[in-house]
Structure 1
């Protein structure tokens, strides 16, 4: 991962769904950290919502971090199968993708698998994904590993991208992850 070639994909962290996740508070908190870190590092964030009319909008604390940006609506489980997302990702011209969101065993897994198969270097941020139960999250992680998709954490990804323990970006990232 490097700053010039990396983008973040944020999947379906929406009100009704987000509140019933196994470890909702922890997951939302880590996604907020990842999005804040992406802003510090000037990484683009592609933000998705699964059928927002039924599942509601993105959790307000995360949506607030994304400012005026608008989410991409989808009904496909894999974001890659939604043309608006596919076109937006291709237009970014970035090959490294950090994925976070819910649910780990459905939309996160299918998106990661499809992006990997499309030639992207995918890393799933395991402390920023969740499912309604821990068993399904663990199943997703096992399947990702079987598919040879890299796993990371919020801190690992952000410090890998910042590269050095000095400078303003390092200080800002350090504050975010603490």
Structure 2
């Protein structure tokens, strides 16, 4: 089970025009916003990645205002773990479990998840918060990551798992996010 004191969120490359070209992008944006808001409420560490932002653009305006308080790391390798600044932020967060969301599922999300596994981290792929231009690529990424012992979850599932209890003082605000 996920625990607040041992879990963080990584937002992978939800940028520019490409973020609107992924299959079911509107649903993905809605779920990613829910995941970011819930992670913020629960005070999880959050790290944002941007792939070659000079060419692909900055983080999409649908979610960018939710991420202003978190480190944003520019990268060029598909695997975020190839960037020493990202690895430093992951280590500084000092958590074992990472929720991962973003695009494209079969490229940067997949490679970053595998890189984190290589660092000894436990990964939960938030499947309703990832996307690829072709849904078949997203499905293959999910399948391959499951074979590598990456956990599969959804935005609501992981947030309720982290919330644990309706008597928590944050629960009313939490409900406003997940409804």
- Paired residue for 1:164? 165
Instruction: Measure, in 1, the Cα distance between the counterparts of 2:174 and 2:153.
Output: 16
Instruction: Measure, in 1, the Cα distance between the counterparts of 2:49 and 2:117.
Output: 18
Does residue 113 of structure 1 match 2:111?
Answer: no
RMSD: 1.0
Gaps of 5+ in 2: none
Instruction: Measure, in 1, the Cα distance between the counterparts of 2:148 and 2:35.
Output: 24
- Report the CA distance between 1:167 and its aligned residue: 2.8
Alpha carbons 2:46, 2:70 under 8 Å: kept = no
Instruction: Measure, in 1, the Cα distance between the counterparts of 2:19 and 2:95.
Output: 28
What TM-score does the superposition give when structure 2 sets the normalisation length? Answer: 0.96
SS at match of 1:42: coil
SS at match of 2:170: helix
Number of aligned residues: 178
Q: How do residues 1-178 of structure 1 correspond to structure 2 at under 5 angstroms?
A: 1-178=2-179
- Report the CA distance between 1:113 and its aligned residue: 1.2
- Report the CA distance between 1:104 and its aligned residue: 0.4
Comparing 168-177 with 141-150, greater Cα deviation is found at: 168-177
Cα deviation, 1:90-125, whole Å, max 9, x if unaligned, reads 011111100000000111111111111211111010
Gaps of 5+ in 1: none
SS at match of 1:145: helix
